[in-house]
Amino acid sequence: MTTLKKTIPNMLLQRAASFAFIVLFTSNFLFAQEASTEANKPVSGTYNSGIFLENQTVLMYPAKTIEFVINHRFGKISEGAKEFFGIYSPSNIRMGINYSITNKLQVGIGTTKFNKQQDLGIKYGLFEQTTNGKIPVSVTYYGSVALDARENTANSDFDYVNYKYVHRLSYFHEIMISRRFCDFFNMQVAPTYTHYNITESSSDTSAVRLRRPDNFGLSVLGKMNITPTIAFFFEYDHNFTKLYKKGYDEVKPNISIGFENATSAHSFQLFVTTAYDITYQRNMVYNQNDFFHSGLMLGFNITRVFY
């Protein structure tokens, strides 16, 4: 019975993600405008920031724009009043900066406290949704590589008998597909692929791998505008790749809900989330926090744009 109770919420969330994916791709037949009555212009105002919650967005800034990003995650709310609901607990922080080389190409660099991860990212806008419906969705690629910069003694993965420095690297790729349905509601889905050059063992025998190096997932992001500057949003990230060995806890979905207050050059996002690691690779492959069982943390993102 306990297994059934745990399985049903996961099944419902997977079906919800699949439904959102289908709706986004079929929406053109329901919402597209007549091409003869509107100019073929890109849809504007879909997102106010290049990041949302635990993910990227399709937003591309104009050339020569600088975006400064701060991501902060407190400890678990379930730790109670003694730790001030996670605020007194050890926090995870990332600081990053992105630069738009062209209107369609952005590069970025960041550093994260947990595991001393250093990341490089690239973002490229492929298509933009148009007001006349000829292009029903915006499509953007994002990829990153992260380096685990800890000392060897701080990471048991580095005890692997054939360890090489390249084993510190991990990679993340996603194709973001977004649609603005109306003035107050947007949705984005993104198939994801994550690769680790090495994963941890399930025992002291380092040759026995527990997690698979290649992981495939899906991210779903929704935004609902309440006022011109305030929006409610949610995110659901699911890893579909199972562990090598049964009997261990599978990766939990990342679930986040919160609010954003934004201007043309600034965004502040306050939310609760199950994703502590901040970097996309870790969140997709290692998350063990359960949204329904004391796995929530308070987090915030701040972005500042310099045009």
31: pLDDT strictly greater than 50: no
| Closest to 298 measured CA to CA, from 13, 89, 123, 97 | 89
Query: What's the chain's average pLDDT?
Result: 87
CA distance 95 to 113: 9
Say if CB 278 and CB 112 are below 8 A apart. yes
CA distances from 214 to 21, 29, 114, 171, 192 (A): 22, 35, 22, 10, 11
Looking at per-residue pLDDT, the higher value among 82 and 157 belongs to 82
pLDDT band at 109 (very low <50, low <70, confident <90, very high): very high
* pLDDT at 210 (0 to 100): 81
Kindly indicate the confidence band of residue 2, based on its pLDDT and cuts at 50, 70 and 90. Answer: very low
Query: CATH second-level architecture of 2-306?
Result: Beta Barrel (2.40)
What is the model's pLDDT at position 5? Answer: 47
- Please count the other Cβ atoms lying within 10 Å of the Cβ belonging to residue 68: 13
The two three-digit tokens of residue 22, written as one number:
């289908």
User: Shortest CA distance to 254 belongs to which of 176, 190, 185?
Assistant: 190
Q: What is the pLDDT of residue 65?
A: 98
Domain boundaries, the chain: 2-306
Give yes or no for residue 287 having a pLDDT over 60: yes
Lowest mean pLDDT among 50-64, 112-126, 200-214: 200-214
**Section 178-204 average pLDDT:** 87
Give the pair of three-digit tokens for residue 128: 């933009």
Q: Tokens for 97?
A: 């900066």
Instruction: Calculate mean pLDDT across residues 167-188.
Output: 95
Q: 210 near 249, Cβ under 8 Å?
A: no
The pLDDT, as a whole number, for residue 37 is: 47
